[in-house]
Structure formats: C-alpha cells, structure tokens
Amino acid sequence: MENRPLEYDYTVAKWFMLTTVVLGIVGMLVGVILAWEMAFPAVNTFAGSGLAEYTNFSRLRPLHTDAVIFGFTLSGIWATWYYIGQRVLKVSMAESKFLMFMGKLHFGLYLLVVVAVVVSLLLGISTGKEYAEFEWPIDIAVVVVWVIWGMSIFGLIGIRREKSLYISIWYYIATFLGIAMLYLFNNMEIPTYFASGGIGAWYHSVSMYSGTNDALVQWWYGHNAVAFGFTVPIVAMIYYFLPKESGQAVYSYKLSLLAFWGLMFVYLWAGGHHLIYSTVPDWMQTMGSVFSVVLILPSWGSAINMLLTMKGEWQQVAASPLIKFMVLASTFYMFSTLEGPIQAIKSVNALAHFTDWIVGHVHDGVLGWVAFMIMAALFHMAPRVFKREIYSKSLMNTQFWIQTLGVVLYFTSMWIAGITQGMMWRAHDEFGNLAYSFIDTVAVLHPYFTIRAVGGTLYLVGMFLFAFNMYKTMTSARRVEESELQNASPMGA
Amino acid sequence: MDIGTIQAYAYFIFTAFLVVVLYAYIYHLYSSQRKGKRDYEKYSNIALHDEITDQPVEEISKNDEIK
C-alpha cells in the first residue's frame, strides 16, 4: 500500500457516469411519453384517469427538460470534469483527502437535490419559471452543490503540476462562473410564507421580478443556460476527447483561445432574441438578433477547429464508432449554431416564434450535439476507469445509426411542422380575417407529431443500447492493460 | 444632440473598439508565436500526454523559479 505508484482516482467520475446514464434514460423516456401525448392526447391518461394528475403533459414537461438539463447533462459535465480535470492538471484526487471528500459530498448532495426535484415537480410544486421551476429550498441546495463543485475545480487547480490550464479547463471554469451568476440572479425570490407572516405553504415563493423585467431576466438566464450548460462544457469535452481518442493535436490551439473569448463575450448578449416582438425595448431585441448572428463565428471557430483536428485522419471516422459520435456531434454543433442565428433574425422570428421549429432546433442541438458528445465521452472514459475494453463495437455502431435516424426524423418533422404552423397562423383573407383556427393547425400537424414521437422513440432505444453496452463494459468485458489505453479506445467485436 | 444620436455614436465607437480588441488579440497570439515568446500550439500536448507519470508541458515549480 505504501509504495503503490500514484494513480488518478476516478471514484467520483464513476458515480457521475452512473447518474448520467440513469438520468439520461429517465429524461428521454419522459420526453418520449410527452411526444406521444402530443400526437395522441389519450396517452395523457396512460396510467389511468386516477393518476392523470401525474401523467399529463403539463406535469411531466418540466420533469423532461430538467432531467435532461440538470440530470443527464450536468452529470455528464461532472463525470467528465472529475476525469479530465485530474488528467490535464496532472494531479490525482487521491493526493488530497479534502478534495476527495468534497467530491463525494458533491455527488451525495447532488443526489438529494435530484430526489427533491423529481418529487416536487411530480407533485406540481413549481415557481412557474421555465428551466428554473425549483422552489427556494431546492435553489439553496443547488447553490451549495455548485459552490462545492467550485471548490473542487479551484482546489484541483491549486495543487496542479501542469502550469498552463488546458483549454478544456477554461471552459469548465466558464461553466462554473456562468451558471453561478445566471442561477443566482434569475432565482431571486421571496418565500411568501415568511414574508407574509405565515400565509400559504412554507416552500412557495414569488419572483423578485415581474412583467417585462421578469421576461428579460428569465431569457437572459434561459438562453445562457443553453450557453453555459449545453455549449461551453460540451466544447470542453470535445477539446479533450477528440484529440485524445484520435491521437491528433488540436488543429489550432490559438483558434481555440480566440473562439473561447469570442464565445464568452458574445453569448451573454444574445438572450434578447427570445423576446422579439414583445414588450422589451426595440434596441434590446435588435441587439439580441445581432449578437446571435455574430455568435456563428466563435461557435464555428471551435467546431471547425475540431473537424480540422481530424485532417489527414478521416479514415478513423469510418473505423471507429467513437470518433463517429464526436464528428457527428461537432457537425450538429455547426448545424444548430447556424440554425439558431437564422431563427433570431427578426423577419424569420416573426414566422418561427412559438412554433415547433424552435422545439426542433433545441433537439437537434441537444440530441445531436450535447448527448452524442456526452455519450462519446463516457465511451472513451469507460475503458480507462473500469480497466476493461468497450463491450461491443457493433452495438455502438448500431446505436449510432439508430440515434442518428432518430435525430433526423425529429428535426425534419419539426421543421415542417413549425413552418406550416407559422404560415397557417399568419394566413388571412383580403379583409384581414384569419384563414385558420388553432385546431386547423393541430389537425394538419398530427402526422409530423407522430413522426417526431417515432424519432424520439428511436433515440430512446439507442439510449438503452448505450446503457447495456456501458453495463457490460463495467462488469464483463475483457480486461485491458494500461498500454492499450494510450489513444484509440479498445473495443470488443 | 438627442439621446438617440448619442446612442448611435456610442454604438459605433463601441463596435469599432471591440473590432480593434479582437484583431489586436489575434495579432498578439500570432506575433507571440512568431517571435518565439510563447509557443501556444505546444499546449495541445497537455491532453495528448496526460498520464500522471508524463512530464508536464510546463512544470509549475520550474517555471515559477524562472519568473
């Protein structure tokens, strides 16, 4: 025991890998149920009318979004942090009892918060703010979890051997600081029970903002939650895992730095595009639009940098399903960061706003970019943390194609549905009377809603294949030597 | 000068300033590399050689002594 050579300690990373898989399945399963409910309303009562309160669309919807954002994605971010963080700083968590304890505490408290969130959302306890539905006691717990993660980041940086912080570390720091600021300001709320001297439930609160100000803060938060939850930490992952798995150095490290600062500066101003043609000042709407379009540059800076990292090594895309996942993720990143700015242009937004095209955009980003990258990260990590090869390469390939088909069905159906919807809402006769009632659009959209549900179901099937492959990798795949783990991950047939 | 005109001037100056900052940063990155002040590209190796037994790209103690 005394003379054992120093090794990276992946205990906490493993735990978060587990929650990534489990909460990914939960979040996407709920999403698939919602998609079928949208297509066939009778599904709202699939568990019987007695339980309709818990199974209807409005009760389950926040559970879907929050499970995917704060369950699956956040677990993925932390699993990769506790893996990448040690490696690029060249310091083991085993070297600090304090950091090890904080890592375990981080995971334990996070689990408690997850339970509180699931229970409270199912009971219908909500602040009513999108992606910020948690009531104040949970918000306080979230802040504690976040601070502990911050201590882990800066604690590990404090004892590092590598002087320079690798680009991924910058992105993780930005995630930490960005979400801290956004979460605190958007969730400023007053517990009504205590403020009123005992009226109402103890856990209820009202926001400190109202009306247009509330909308502004909410969408500053909402859009930047996409920035610092779905973009920045995922870029952190691809900057590490793609070079590592392919054995290629980042195409241009300088471009990675430039794209980082560009993204940091531009993203924060783009949230106004959610409020175009609303009551917020016109100049803010214009600013939101302009910054959204400028955002193409730093986003594509990173994405192109990743694709160019594969220069001369494209045969790896055909050979390795793991590289396939990452290259497709990077491609979807380029795709959705072009689509978003197009939707933010005022004249396009007039058509697109409130339609299913927006839902399609979110999902090609999250399913194609975020989830593909997180799964690729876990596939790369698994052989290194479990010291076993990936159980099945052919299962990975199958999963890849099933899920890719799922994403394509999802976003194409939502494009058609969204634009049809937008056109029908605007159509009018020569006297200005609306040509269609709302229910006319619902009837026309039904086939596309069904296709979307099929696409989502395929993606969920892929998630189960992923979970099975990870489980077998953990328990029964062939054991590997350290020498097999240098670059490309070892995979069984 | 009304508030709208001031806003327009401020907007233009601010935009021009940011463009200058952006290009200055790009110039800084490339000129530092060319003059040999700092080799940014070597930092890619931090990910490629990340075993705990690997030599750090820039060791923390050694570098601090130089400074």
Strand partners, B43: none
Domains, chain A, with CATH or none: 11-194+204-476 (1.20.210.10)
Rounded-to-integer distance, Cα A292 and Cα A273, Å: 7
Q: Which chain A residues have a beta carbon less than 8 Å from that of B44?
A: 243, 249-250, 253
For chain B, the structural domain boundaries read: 18-66
Give the chain B residue whose CA is nearest to the CA of A157: B60
**Could you give phi then psi for residue A313, rounded to 5 degrees?**
-125, 25
The pLDDT averaged over each successive group of 10 residues in chain A (493 residues) is 80 98 98 98 95 96 97 98 97 96 98 98 95 96 98 96 96 97 96 94 95 94 93 97 96 96 92 94 92 95 96 95 97 96 96 96 97 98 96 97 98 97 96 95 97 98 98 95 89 90
For A189, the enclosing helix (H) or strand (E) is strand A189-191
Contact, A355 vs A422, CB < 8 A?
A: yes
Mutate to test the interface with A, among B30, B34, B46, B63 (most CBs of A within 10 A): B46
Rounded-to-integer distance, Cα A25 and Cα A22, Å: 5
3-class state of residue B59 by DSSP: strand
Contact, A190 vs A208, CB < 8 A?
A: yes
- b vs e for A254-267, b when ≥16 Cβ sit within 10 Å of the residue's Cβ? bbbbbbbebbbebb
Of the candidates A353, A345, A309, A342, the residue with the CA atom closest to the CA atom of residue A327: A309
Question: Given an 8 Å threshold on Cβ–Cβ distance, is B50 in contact with A258?
Answer: no
List CB contacts of A465: < 8 A, sequence separation 6 or more.
A395, A398, A399, A402
Q: Using the 8-state DSSP alphabet, how is residue A162 labeled?
A: B
Amino acid identity of residue A243, one-letter, is: P
Rounded-to-integer distance, Cα A122 and Cα A118, Å: 6
Of the candidates A353, A351, A342, A357, the residue with the CA atom closest to the CA atom of residue A427: A351
Q: How far is CA A478 from CA A54, A489, A490, in A?
A: 43, 13, 10
Please identify which residue in the block is written with the tokens 């949970």: A138
List CB contacts of A290: < 8 A, sequence separation 6 or more.
none
Rounded-to-integer distance, Cα A353 and Cα A368, Å: 22
Confidence of residue B7 (pLDDT cuts 50, 70, 90): confident
Rounded-to-integer distance, Cα A489 and Cα A484, Å: 8
Mutate to test the interface with B, among A253, A282, A306 (most CBs of B within 10 A): A253
Rounded-to-integer distance, Cα A240 and Cα A82, Å: 13
Amino acid identity of residue A6, one-letter, is: L
Q: ipTM of this predicted complex?
A: 0.88
Q: How far is CA B35 from CA A256, A284, A292, in A?
A: 20, 43, 36
For A147, the enclosing helix (H) or strand (E) is helix A136-158
For A408, the enclosing helix (H) or strand (E) is helix A393-426
Q: Is the pLDDT of residue B65 over 70?
A: no
Question: Given an 8 Å threshold on Cβ–Cβ distance, is B59 in contact with A161?
Answer: yes
Please identify which residue in the block is written with the tokens 């005394």: A2
Mutate to test the interface with A, among B19, B23, B38, B44 (most CBs of A within 10 A): B44
**Could you give phi then psi for residue B18, rounded to 5 degrees?**
-65, -35
For chain A, list residues whose CB is within 8 angstroms of any CB belonging to chain B: 5-8, 87-88, 90-92, 160-164, 166-168, 239-240, 243-244, 247, 249-250, 252-254, 257-258, 261-262, 265, 283
Q: How many CA atoms lie within 13 A of A431 on its CB side?
A: 2
Whether B43 contacts chain A with CB within 8 A: yes
What six digits make up the tokens of A465? Answer: 């294949």
What six digits make up the tokens of B55? Answer: 């030599």
List CB contacts of A187: < 8 A, sequence separation 6 or more.
A127, A129, A132, A134, A136, A139
Of the candidates B63, B66, B59, the residue with the CA atom closest to the CA atom of residue A90: B59
CA angle (A367, A373, A378) in 5-degree steps: 120
Considering only CB atoms, B60 lies closest to which of A5, A161, A250, namely A161
Cα–chain center distance at A362: 10
DSSP secondary structure string for all residues of A391-406: S-HHHHHHHHHHHHHH
What per-residue confidence (pLDDT) applies to B48? 95
3-class state of residue A435 by DSSP: coil
DSSP secondary structure string for all residues of A289-355: HHHHHHTHHHHHHHHHHHHHHTTT-THHHHH-HHHHHHHHHHHHHHHHHHHHHHHHSHHHHHHHTTS
Q: How far is CA A368 from CA A78, A326, A411, in A?
A: 20, 10, 10
What per-residue confidence (pLDDT) applies to B63? 53
- Residue A138 burial class via C-beta count within 10 angstroms: exposed 0-12, middle 13-18, buried 19 and up: buried
